[in-house]
A = this chain, B = another copy of it.
Amino acid sequence: MSISNPTVPQTFNASTPLQLISGSVLNEYQLVYETYGQLNADKSNAILVCHALSGDHHVAGIDADGKTGWWDGYIGPGKVIDTDQFFVVCSNNLGGCRGSTGPTTINPQTGKVYGADFPIITCKDWVASQNELRKHLEIDQWAALVGGSMGGMQVMQWAIDYPNRLRHAVVIAAAPKLSAQNIAFNEVARRAIMSDPEFHEGRFLEHNTVPKSGLALARMLGHLTYLSDDMMGSKFGRELREDKLQYNFDVEFQVESYLRYQGEKFATKMNFDANTYLLMTKALDYFDPAADYGHDLSKALANAKAKFLVVSFTSDWRFSPQRSHEIVKALLDNDADVSYAEITSEHGHDAFLLPNAHYEGIFANYMQRVLDDIKTAEVAA
């Protein structure tokens, strides 16, 4: 079944307060989500896709603004995640800026936008709120949880916190926790935003402004870490913007022009909220499921019941294959059912979003397995 465009976001209004890991409580919140495909009669074909730092609920199809979903290449009729077979759900994370409750939402206690008052959110909180959405959709068990990068971390957290609520976990280009270097990059990005005078300690919307320049800087830096040195070399090399060297501080090389454009676009055209960016990077920093289990990832994953597909990309230096090995090893310590693929790609961390025959083949094969499990269960029932 083809996706009916434009896609229509739906809203789930949570009826129970959410106790956050930080100690704060969200008495009311909403999650915006999209769905594609048809939920089958016994509600066994539902897949939850979790998004990464700058992503949102619009993962496939074309929305009312004409925007294509961020993973549309992989989700749709006949695609890797086949909407002719699966019912696919994706929600905007709590703390986001695309419709789910976050820093740009009106705080019911003050009547003003939350801004800097929005509480710190962790991966566990996201998963807890997504579990409320699951109940609302009356889905007993997800056929699979799927996510790349920060999305993959949510998948891991689901497998640990709600082991009976998913049958398969697809963890792509992720890590079991951030390294010191990862945290350091996030911290530089946060400094860029917070030291922009337009930040106003996070109350910029009350001042009718946004820390555009800080946010653009943060995005330039983030984007840079998603790309590999080799890929940037083959895409831009040392190509000049003009015919010859200008010897001034304007943009000289194509790669500078590209990065500036990415930063500008994010801060202006995409209108991403700076507080959301801060919250998402913090949630990444805090993600460390092993911490609750004596810093032993194998123990953390001991209760997981899902079958796993773990995927990494050779040129990803943000979350390198080595980090995926840590996940695979911890799963094997528990004799878990785990498939692992290390995909050759020059596209760095971004590879998980891009076309790649080997990756698509392995991913599609695994989704067929997810489908077979559904059919076997139907026959058995």
Contacts and interface: CB of A to CB of B under 8 A. Distances in A.
B179 A229 contact: yes
Contacts of A233: 179-181
B23 A247 contact: yes
Contact of A247 (B21, B177, B217, B252): B21
Contact of A180 (B180, B187, B188, B255): B255
The secondary-structure label for the interface of chain A is helix
A197 interface: yes
A224 B177 contact: no
A180 B217 contact: no
Interface residues of A, number: 55
A237 B182 CA distance: 10
Interface in A201-254: 213-214, 216-217, 220-221, 224, 227-229, 232-233, 235-238, 245, 247-249, 252-253
B278 A188 contact: no
A185 B259 CA distance: 10
A17 B339 CA distance: 68
A236 B180 contact: yes
A173 interface: no
Interface pairs A-B: 6 shortest CB-CB:
A22-B247, A180-B232, A181-B229, A180-B255, A180-B236, A120-B247
